[in-house]
Amino acid sequence: MATEAHSTNSMSKDIIVYVVLLVLAAIQFFIAYQNITAAQMFERMLCVAVIEGGIALLFFMHLSENRGLRWFVIIFTVAVILGMQYGWSDAFRISGGVPWAH
Amino acid sequence: MSHADTMHGHATAGAMAEPTFSVPAKKMAMWLFIIADSATFAGCLVAYGFLRNATPDWPRPFHEITNVAIMTFILLTSSLTMMIGVRSAQAGDKPKAFRWVMITAVLGLLFAVLHIREWMGMISEGATLFHNPWGTPAFGGAFYAVTGMHLLHVTGGVIALIVIAIRYQGGRYKADDLEVTGLYWHFVDLVWMFVVPLIYLLNLAH
């Protein structure tokens, strides 16, 4: 009885998470049709994607249930991904002549 | 203390040792793979962004994004069906778990078919790995590398889902194995959330 109730609760939570992810994906598509610059669009879409990814990690991949593993994954992944961002200034230099040229 | 006692002590210590973060070894191995793979995907996406940013005539070939929206819907839905499959396996309902994991595999296959159909459309317009009718040839290489990498993961995932579901049905694998495969499948879904805006949706920017 208790197992059935737990299973139903878990299923309801999964469906809520799924609907939230669908809504966030829809927001990304909505942003794509806004009359804004590519940079603004990129920022907004990236924010939504990070939220989507976080929700998927926490609830679909059960990171919310294991604190130690959560920090292990976050620290390693974020450190590697941040390390890759060093190339952006060079991308701007190629297109604009100097880093962050206007 | 005799040698036998010492050996027994070692064996007990090994059996009682807490796994890292209280996570079983298979699951931990999958997490390590996911961390490494997320670095690979991040590298591909950053390289794509770098090229796009540094190339003034970067093409924007996607005039409508209905296909991508359908693909996104399918992949997100497949994550839910995978969750239902894993929950069913944990509850001990083998036939239900098998059914939902196979539904997940079918959705993954559908995603791959839609993806390949999109590729065929682009190839027929002349966009290949080293040629691009709309401007810089780097576009073809970057586009096919990122989306191809993701498609490869989806295809591998579909094969893994089918194999593991069949072996689970046959009693060789347990619910834990389905859960570990589920982790991989959700990761493939997670990566798509970043591929779509960068490659397809930014294409619509003014």
What are the pLDDT digits (tens) for B145-154? 999 999 999 9
- Is the pLDDT score of B1 beyond 50? no
A77 to chain B, closest Cα gap in Å: 6
Decide if B197 and A68 are in contact by the 8 Å CB cutoff: no
State whether residue B151 is helix, strand or coil.
Answer: helix
For the stretch A42-81, pLDDT in tens is 999 999 999 999 999 999 998 888 888 888 888 887 887 7
Structure tokens at A48: 């939504």
Contacts of A82 in chain B (CB under 8 A): none
Decide if A32 and B202 are in contact by the 8 Å CB cutoff: yes
Contacts of B23 in chain A (CB under 8 A): 66, 69
In this prediction, residue B186 carries a pLDDT of: 96
Q: Which of residues 55-84 of A touch B (CB under 8 A)?
A: 56-57, 60-61, 66, 68-69, 72-73, 76-77, 80-81, 84
**Does B56 contact A at CB distance below 8 Å?**
yes
Q: What is the rounded distance in angstroms from the CA atom of residue B136 to the CA atom of residue A85?
A: 23
pTM over 0.95: no
Q: What is the rounded distance in angstroms from the CA atom of residue B124 to the CA atom of residue A98?
A: 39
Asked whether A34 and A41 are in contact (CB, 8 A), the reply is yes
What was the ipTM of the complex prediction?
Answer: 0.85
**Nearest beta carbon to residue B65 from set A3, A32, A68:** A32
Structure tokens at B197: 């805006």
A70 to chain B, closest Cα gap in Å: 9
In this prediction, residue B80 carries a pLDDT of: 96
User: What is the mean pLDDT of the segment spanning A13-34?
Assistant: 94
A101 to chain B, closest Cα gap in Å: 13
In this prediction, residue B69 carries a pLDDT of: 95
User: What is the mean pLDDT of the segment spanning B179-183?
Assistant: 96
For A69, half-sphere exposure in the C-beta direction (CA atoms, 13 angstrom radius) is 23
Which conformational region is residue B60 in: left (phi greater than 0), alpha (psi within -120 to 50 degrees), or beta?
A: beta
The percent of residues above 90 in pLDDT, for chain A, comes to 39
Q: What chain A residue is nearest to B71 in terms of C-alpha separation? A: A25
Structure tokens at B182: 């589920």
Q: What chain A residue is nearest to B190 in terms of C-alpha separation? A: A53
The band of B130, judged by pLDDT with boundaries at 50, 70 and 90, is: confident
Q: What chain B residue is nearest to A10 in terms of C-alpha separation? A: B87
Decide if A45 and B55 are in contact by the 8 Å CB cutoff: no
Q: What chain A residue is nearest to B35 in terms of C-alpha separation? A: A77
Q: What is the rounded distance in angstroms from the CA atom of residue B20 to the CA atom of residue B29?
A: 11
The band of A99, judged by pLDDT with boundaries at 50, 70 and 90, is: low
B13 exposed, middle or buried (CB, 10 Å; 0-12, 13-18, 19+)? exposed
**Does B183 contact A at CB distance below 8 Å?**
yes
Asked whether B198 and A30 are in contact (CB, 8 A), the reply is no
Q: Which of A47-56, B47-56, B101-110 is predicted least confidently? A: B47-56
Task: Spell out the SS3 assignment of chain A.
Answer: CHHHHHHHHHHHHHHHHHHHHHHHHHHHHHHHCCCCCHHHHHHHHHHHHHHHHHHHHHHHCCHHHCHHHHHHHHHHHHHHHHHHHHHHHHHHHHHHCCCCCC
**Does B87 contact A at CB distance below 8 Å?**
yes
- Is the pLDDT score of B4 beyond 60? no
**Does B65 contact A at CB distance below 8 Å?**
yes
User: What is the mean pLDDT of the segment spanning B30-46?
Assistant: 89
Decide if B80 and A18 are in contact by the 8 Å CB cutoff: yes
Q: Which of A8-22, A27-41, A83-97, B25-39 is predicted least confidently? A: A83-97
